[in-house]
Structure 1
Amino acid sequence: MSKSSFDIPAPRWKHDGVRVVPRDKLDPNTAQTPGMDRKAAITFARVGAKKLWAGTVHIHPNAKTGAHHHGPLESVIYVVNGRARMRWGERLEFTAEAGPGDFIYVPPYVPHQEINASRTETLECVLVRSDGEAVAINLDIEPAEPPEDVPWVDPTHPG
Structure 2
Amino acid sequence: MHDIGDGHTHHPEPHDHDDRPDGAAAARWKHDGVRVIPGDRLDPNTAQTPGMFRQAAVNAARVGAQKIWAGTVAIEPDAKTGVHHHGALESVIYIVSGRARMRWGERLEYVAEAGPGDFIFVPPYVPHQEINASTDAPLHCVLVRSDNEAVVVNLPDVEAAERPETVYWIDPIHRQP
Provide TM-score, normalisation by structure 1: 0.80
Q: Percent identity?
A: 76
CA distance in 2, matches of 1:33, 1:63: 12
Which one of 24, 30, 38 corresponds to residue 46 of structure 2?
30
Which residue does the alignment assign to 1:39?
A: 55
CA distance in 2, matches of 1:31, 1:134: 12
Q: C-alpha displacement at 1:33, in angstroms?
A: 5.0
Which residue does the alignment assign to 2:19?
A: none
Which residue does the alignment assign to 1:142?
A: 159
CA distance in 1, matches of 2:79, 2:160: 16
Question: SS of 1:119's equivalent?
Answer: coil
CA distance in 1, matches of 2:58, 2:68: 7
In structure 2, give the amino acid aligned to 1:138. N
Deviates more, 1:124-133 or 1:20-29: 20-29
Render the CA deviation track for 1:3-46: whole Å, top value 9, x for unaligned: xxxx9656221110111111222122334454122111100111
Cα 1:30–1:59 shift into 2, 3 Å: same
Q: C-alpha displacement at 1:144, in angstroms?
A: 4.9
Cα 1:16–1:65 shift into 2, 3 Å: same
Provide TM-score, normalisation by structure 2: 0.73
Question: SS of 1:28's equivalent?
Answer: coil
Deviates more, 1:88-97 or 1:134-143: 134-143
CA contact (8 A) 2:129 2:160 kept: no
Which one of 73, 77, 90 corresponds to residue 57 of structure 1?
73
Cα 1:88–1:34 shift into 2, 3 Å: farther
CA contact (8 A) 1:93 1:143 kept: no
CA distance in 2, matches of 1:33, 1:72: 25
CA contact (8 A) 1:33 1:65 kept: no
CA distance in 1, matches of 2:144, 2:29: 24
